[in-house]
Structure 1
Amino acid sequence: MRGLKVLPSGRPGRGRLYVNLPDGQAVAWYDRQANRISVLEDDHCEAILAVLRPYLSGTVSIGPPPVPTAADLAGLALPPDADLAPNRPGETLMGELDHGPAGTRARHRLRQDLVAQQRMGDACDALEADGWRILHCVPLPGMGLIDHLLMGPAGIFCVRTVPGRRQRAVVGDLLLTVGRAEPHPDPRWARRAAARATLVLTAQVTPALAVADASRVEVAPTVRDIRVLQPTTAAADLTRTPAALKPPDVEALFTLARDVRTWLGNSSPAWESPRTEPGGV
């Protein structure tokens, strides 16, 4: 059948691909993570396969849509403006760069933060194939944003990302120092953010610091409660961690966490303000 259109949904390269009729009615979708085509209209099966063929890889299963779980139904009922799942890494920083300060130094720092968040965000998103669910730019009223929230077999991790600027980074109990710059209390911020997330999700959340593009990272031996990650090794480090959550638990937590109302509660949505500096915590 002619006229079928393939439309993406979700983050580029990871969301579903929907096959729609010319009038916009969906007749199938391709879940790239599960490598499965769910067909709604059997009469169009051959045409659906033909239009999706350029996007398929490996062995693809085909059939009717799976019976939705409780988490699936909750996600379908979520208003689009309340859904954090489509957020890209560093999304709020992109807006600040477009409309923010004109000063060269301030913009340079914003660009460094953005690149660091994007690099770590890409490393986090790569975990989705191993059963992880990822959110970026999660609001914490009064504290700014959680850069990345990871939910997977090894547990839940609240990640704050710091640009290493190709210098030595030293993580201590209270301070993180990059090169000769002034130390910042990022470890303390990460602990407080993880504690807040633990209360919100009613599940244990581990604080984590991600240092991107440092020449080397040194962690004080007394730092035992904070996970220190780097974009190049994060996937391997986390997949080697013993399992703590089952897949249904991960999906339920993801459904809860992706709803912005879970985090804002009765607070005003002023979380879109610029990134909160850890020194102000």
Structure 2
Amino acid sequence: MQDLKVTSWQLFGHDRLYVNLPDGTAIGWADRGSGTITVLHPRYRDAVTDALARQVPDLPALVGEEAPAGPQTPPAPPPVPRIPPMRGMRKRGAAQEAPPVRGPAPAGEVARAPGVAPAVEVAPAVEAPPAPSVAPAPKTVDGPEPAAGPVPVAGPVPVVGLAPVAGPEPEPARRRRPAVLPALTPSTDLASRRPGAGLREQLGESGTGALVRAATGALRRHKDADPRRGALAGERRVGAELKRLTRHGWRVLHSVPLPDGTEIGHLLIGPGGVFAVSTDHRPGASVRIGDGTLRTDNGTPQPYELDGRPGARRARAALEAYCAFDVPVQTVLVFTGVTALEVASTPAGVRVFRERQVSVLAPLTGVFTPTQVERVYDVARNREAWLDA
């Protein structure tokens, strides 16, 4: 079930991760404090554990803190079930056996929440001749038989402790295993790249090019007519504004290179998500954005594409290839040097700012945990992750 959503819930001293169906119905949760997982129905057991493992890579360590140590292998199959003399009924006068005593759940087993059907390992299906009018006989997983009581049966769906008649349910869809990145080296670490690195190389402001320009007198005081120099100034301004967000738990990368020679100007990673930031430098202009057009000053509106920018799409594909959870990426467009900016409308997932307005992203939260932020950042800073983007 790839549509399951995992949300964080913290209240009254509890810290839980809830797994919900697409309609918002909760089917299970993980308690970070006690290190237990609760599943509300056994048919969703694998889906709940897979969703939690996909959202929180360090979940096995969390569960293992309170569970007794043991091999991480599936539990041994239960013994041959005891079949009562009469299917689904007790003999009159038979002694009532005491219900099993509750205790700490062993490793690999799901904890039980008060008032909820026990989420335990369901015994393997046993081929048995179908009964025309009698429900399938209960199967004992381990220990004494539980006290008699009404067992709700809704159609052919098996409930806890009952062997399915038509065979086991199909396994829920599982997310493929993330790829493994090579170890980070100084030559593949993008954390040291400066804003506008591609423009710097084109203008000869990096490496030996800067020395050549200084030797030939190219570093002069008068304004350079090359528009790339203004674009580089805009990249520097945006980079400086994004750096302010790092005090709020955000991570920033600049000039992320792509295989086709282009770059993602800036990549902002934090608790509020991932943003592919690009810069548009229009000095002294008044800009209006709306309905897929851009109008400068009093000119005629021109087509201006916002939602079709490849940066966010390619960043999501590259990051999700190495993360065990979804990594949605939004687009941010920052105008620099403008005298006024009017934003009439933007597509979903696209934000348009002036350079000083990017600070509104600082308080955004609820998308990633601190552990996930660091995982996304570790992937994004590795140049090898972008070779197939």
TM-score of the two chains, using structure 2 as the length reference: 0.44
- Matches of 1:260 and 1:186, distance apart in 2: 28
CA contact (8 A) 2:250 2:268 kept: yes
- Matches of 1:173 and 1:193, distance apart in 2: 21
Partner in structure 2 of residue 112 of structure 1: 230
Partner in structure 2 of residue 82 of structure 1: 188
Q: In 2 relative to 1, CA 94–222 (structure 1 residues): closer, same or farther, beyond 3 Å?
A: closer
Q: In 2 relative to 1, CA 176–81 (structure 1 residues): closer, same or farther, beyond 3 Å?
A: farther
Alignment equivalent of 1:224, drawn from 348, 358, 361? 348
Structure 2 matches for 1:87-106, cutoff 5 A? 87-98=193-204
- Matches of 2:355 and 2:363, distance apart in 1: 15
Higher helix proportion (structure 1 or 2): 1
- Matches of 1:75 and 1:120, distance apart in 2: 29
Partner in structure 2 of residue 145 of structure 1: 263
Encode CA deviations 1:174-204: one digit per residue, 9 max, x unaligned: 44444459947452453x2211111111210
Partner in structure 2 of residue 239 of structure 1: 362
TM-score of the two chains, using structure 1 as the length reference: 0.59
The residue type equivalent to 1:206 in the other structure is Q
The residue type equivalent to 2:306 in the other structure is P
CA contact (8 A) 1:175 1:188 kept: no
Q: In 2 relative to 1, CA 178–250 (structure 1 residues): closer, same or farther, beyond 3 Å?
A: farther
CA contact (8 A) 1:169 1:218 kept: yes
1:262 aligns to 2:385 (yes or no): yes
Structure 2 matches for 1:9-48, cutoff 5 A? none
Shift of 1:143: 6.8
Shift of 1:86: 0.3
- Matches of 1:126 and 1:255, distance apart in 2: 20
- Matches of 2:188 and 2:228, distance apart in 1: 26
Encode CA deviations 1:44-100: one digit per residue, 9 max, x unaligned: xxxxxxxxxxxxxxxxxxxxxxxxxxxxxx99941111111001111221121126x
CA contact (8 A) 2:291 2:345 kept: no
Q: Percent of counterpart pairs with the same letter?
A: 31
3-state SS in 1 of match to 2:226: helix
- Matches of 1:75 and 1:142, distance apart in 2: 21
Equivalent pairs counted in the alignment come to 189
CA contact (8 A) 1:212 1:230 kept: yes
Shift of 1:218: 1.4
1:199 aligns to 2:286 (yes or no): no
CA contact (8 A) 1:175 1:187 kept: no
Alignment equivalent of 2:283, drawn from 150, 157, 165? 165
- Matches of 2:300 and 2:254, distance apart in 1: 27
The residue type equivalent to 1:238 in the other structure is L
- Matches of 2:256 and 2:295, distance apart in 1: 25
CA contact (8 A) 1:164 1:178 kept: no
CA contact (8 A) 1:176 1:187 kept: no
Q: State which structure, 1 or 2, has the greater radius of gyration over its C-alpha atoms.
A: 2
Alignment equivalent of 2:337, drawn from 213, 227, 234? 213
Q: In 2 relative to 1, CA 186–166 (structure 1 residues): closer, same or farther, beyond 3 Å?
A: farther
- Matches of 1:75 and 1:124, distance apart in 2: 27
Shift of 1:215: 1.1
Unaligned 5+ segments in structure 2 are 1-179, 210-217, 321-326
Higher strand proportion (structure 1 or 2): 1
Unaligned 5+ segments in structure 1 are 1-73, 268-281
- Matches of 1:147 and 1:136, distance apart in 2: 6
Task: Name which structure has the greater RCO, CA cutoff 8 Å, separation 6+.
Answer: 1
Encode CA deviations 1:4-50: one digit per residue, 9 max, x unaligned: xxxxxxxxxxxxxxxxxxxxxxxxxxxxxxxxxxxxxxxxxxxxxxx
Structure 2 matches for 1:265-276, cutoff 5 A? 265=388
- Matches of 1:79 and 1:215, distance apart in 2: 43
- Matches of 1:143 and 1:122, distance apart in 2: 24
Partner in structure 1 of residue 96 of structure 2: none
Partner in structure 1 of residue 247 of structure 2: 129
The residue type equivalent to 1:78 in the other structure is L
CA contact (8 A) 1:117 1:147 kept: yes
CA contact (8 A) 2:191 2:381 kept: yes
TM superposition outliers: structure 1 runs of 4+ over 6 Å: none
3-state SS in 2 of match to 1:255: helix
Q: In 2 relative to 1, CA 93–220 (structure 1 residues): closer, same or farther, beyond 3 Å?
A: same
